């Protein structure tokens, strides 16, 4: 089958990562479709941005699987499915564990993919660094996953369900994803834009000094997904892959804020370091879930941008010569 006819379905295409992925897929020789859930119709601003050939949009309830049969009838079996859909706010997961599990463990999606008899589509599933306990630096994929909150537990349950019930998958444990706003703006606060906004007001603001992550630039995550799609098509073989997807830098919340302040010229004294334990967020947050990304670099040949360079790209700040 020719590459031009390869079908790619993005589940959760109206979310932050989903929209950025759809924008990149629009310029590739694939037959692309996406799903949405919370709205009555797909956002007009998103479809407008994907002209002249916007992808087909389907409403899908990931908990029940309602809508999957319609996708199969209209699109046929997809060659690749990218699952970006999730309840990703840890506090929301903590408040309703049952809904978090039902949404974040894609049992209906895996059952649907397993029903195709001719071949098994590649499932690229977005997981999280919060499957790690947070007691050391630079976790590797083979390290024990011991999540400390419901969000992490639901995402680990999803990983185990997929690896136990499906034969062709790539699971991506992503850190904080940052970058430019999506074409149809998402409601959630974007980390770099939020930091930029509060510091621009000239008011002192507290940031955690002892919570470490490896934030990853959104276009690097998109690049990882595109390379996996290409690899699946060119190799023609099933894969069982688990990858840490983070940036190359381990940074605290304080260091994230300091990078924004340095790039935008804000007063560093506005940044007040505090321990994470000083604030009750209604959910346990792991302290250090920085990740070793050497497997990602080796398998896909990708070199994620530094956090500082990613912030410059996000805020459209150019170096002065």
DSSP 276: G
pLDDT tens, residue by residue, 54-79: 899 999 999 999 999 999 999 999 99
C-alpha–C-alpha distance, residues 21 and 50, integer Å: 11
Predicted confidence band of residue 321 (pLDDT cuts 50, 70, 90): very low
% of the chain residues with pLDDT over 90: 86
pLDDT tens, residue by residue, 224-262: 999 999 999 999 899 999 999 999 999 999 999 999 999
Which tokens sit at 284?
A: 């346990």
Report pLDDT for 188: 87
pLDDT at 165 over 60: yes
Mean pLDDT of the chain: 94
Rounded (5°) CA angle 124-86-173: 50
CA distances from 10 to 32, 53, 224 (A): 8, 16, 14
C-alpha–C-alpha distance, residues 244 and 242, integer Å: 7
C-alpha–C-alpha distance, residues 81 and 111, integer Å: 13
Which tokens sit at 307?
A: 């956090």
C-alpha–C-alpha distance, residues 38 and 256, integer Å: 31
Report pLDDT for 41: 76
Cis ω for the linkage preceding 184 (within 30 of 0): no
Contact 211, 252 (CB under 8 A): yes
pLDDT tens, residue by residue, 16-63: 999 999 999 998 899 999 999 876 678 888 988 888 888 999 999 999
pLDDT tens, residue by residue, 100-133: 999 999 999 999 999 998 889 999 999 999 999 9
Could you tell me the sign of the dihedral formed by the alpha carbons of 149, 152, 156, 161, in that order? positive
The residue-averaged pLDDT of 160-166 equals: 98
Stated pTM of the model: 0.95
CATH class name, domain 3-179+215-246 = alpha beta
């Amino acid at each position: 089958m020719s590459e031009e006819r390869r079908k790619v379905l993005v589940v959760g295409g109206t979310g932050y990562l989903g929209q950025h992925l759809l924008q990149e897929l629009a310029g590739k020789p694939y037959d692309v479709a996406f799903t949405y859930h919370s709205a009555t119709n797909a956002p007009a601003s998103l479809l407008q941005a994907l002209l002249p050939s916007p992808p087909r949009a389907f409403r899908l309830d990931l908990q029940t699987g309602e809508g999957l049969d319609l996708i199969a009838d209209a699109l046929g079996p997809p060659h690749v499915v990218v699952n970006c859909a999730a309840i990703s706010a840890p506090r929301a997961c903590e408040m309703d564990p049952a809904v978090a599990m039902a949404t974040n463990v894609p049992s209906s999606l895996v059952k649907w993919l397993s029903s195709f008899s001719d071949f098994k589509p590649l499932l690229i599933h977005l997981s999280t660094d919060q499957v790690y306990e947070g007691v050391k630096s630079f976790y590797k994929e083979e390290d024990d996953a011991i999540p400390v909150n419901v969000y992490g537990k639901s995402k680990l349950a999803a990983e185990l369900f997929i690896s136990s019930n499906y034969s062709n998958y790539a699971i991506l444990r992503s850190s904080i994803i940052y970058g430019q706003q999506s074409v149809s703006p998402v409601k959630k606060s974007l980390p770099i834009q939020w930091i930029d906004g509060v510091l621009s007001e000239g008011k002192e603001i507290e940031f955690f000094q002892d919570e470490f992550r490896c934030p990853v630039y959104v276009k690097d995550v998109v690049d990882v997904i595109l390379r996996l799609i290409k690899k699946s098509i060119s190799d023609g073989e099933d894969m069982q892959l688990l990858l840490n997807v983070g940036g190359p830098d381990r940074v605290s919340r304080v260091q994230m804020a300091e990078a924004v302040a340095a790039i935008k010229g804000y007063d560093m004294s506005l940044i007040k370091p505090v321990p994470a334990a000083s604030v009750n967020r209604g959910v346990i947050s792991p302290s250090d879930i920085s990740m070793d990304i050497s497997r990602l670099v080796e398998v896909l040949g990708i070199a994620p941008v530094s956090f500082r360079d990613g912030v410059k790209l996000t805020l459209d700040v150019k170096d002065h010569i």
